Amino acid sequence: MIYTVTLNPSVDYFLSVKDFKSGIINRSVNEYTLPGGKGVNVSIVLKNLGIHTVATGFVAGETGSLFYSLLSCQGVESDFIQLKEGNTRINVKVKSEAETEINASGPNIDDEAYTKLLEKFSELSMSDMVVVAGSVPESLGQERYLGLLDCISRTGAALIIDTIGKNLTDSLKFKPFLIKPNDAELGEIFGTECNSTEKIAECAGRLRESGAQNVLVSRGAAGAVLFCSNFQVFDCPAPEGDVVSTVGSGDSTVAGFVAGYMESGDYEYALKLGVSAGSASAFTPHLASYDEIMRIFEEIKNCRIK
């Protein structure tokens, strides 16, 4: 079974605004609402690719009920823990000449709810896979976040982590099966700019030396590079296309990689499907469907071995 963990999910409110300007009244020309959060996005794209997942994490209040309803409409099975106080956050995504996002903080996560989450993962097996994706709420804290990763890793389940900064580097001691920084996030970790394949390789290599089994570095329009546990390196270019929205593109890349690896056990195939899913989501106003992903998959030539 594949589980996705979104510690701070959201109700994402998308607004399309012509010529958005701050400090004045702007009127939208289109709006819609979707369930949000990096792990949630991974579950949705995996479902679109025909793979069953269970999405979990924390929800709260009336917006938590709305979140559940929106996620159910996406056909994703969920098993979130209901917090006693607060509300699931609402994030506002404004689409205009540029994308503007306002992300809320989210509810407080108490010790009782945290313990319930640990209990959910105490009986996993080596055949399971857990994707822990997104930011770590301040109310959860670093210590409890690492405690969650420790609980999962002790079961032998494959751990996939998509987060940033210290949360990512501190997670490496649990030897995650896969981590997915983008090139900018990779550079921030080491205080440099990863603007060349050589620099990316150097920094990704240091993450592998610190415990990551596989490092998938997404590079936006340049595609992605995969540094494998068997020391192979694959570079997959992204196809050309008009970017409609980058929201969820990186999460789609993770989902495509997981789907491809589950299907084939082949790193090159998994990377190609990951780049296809990420690109397809970037080229559409929503998370990509199966047909949209496979259309791009057929366009991409085989990934190059470095």
- The residues carrying an active-site annotation are 251
Strands (E) located in 66-152: 77-78, 81-82, 89-95, 99-102, 129-133
Q: Quick one: tokens of 103? A: 């992300």
DSSP track, 239-266: PP------TTHHHHHHHHHHHHHHHH--
Measure the CA angle with vertex 135, ends 283 and 182; round to 5°: 50
* Calpha distance 289→284 (Å, rounded): 10
CB 60 within 8 A of CB 107: yes
Residue partners of 203: CB distance under 8 A and separation at least 6 = 186, 187, 189, 190, 192, 194
List Cα–Cα distances, 99 to 172, 183, 184, 241, in angstroms. Answer: 32, 20, 18, 18
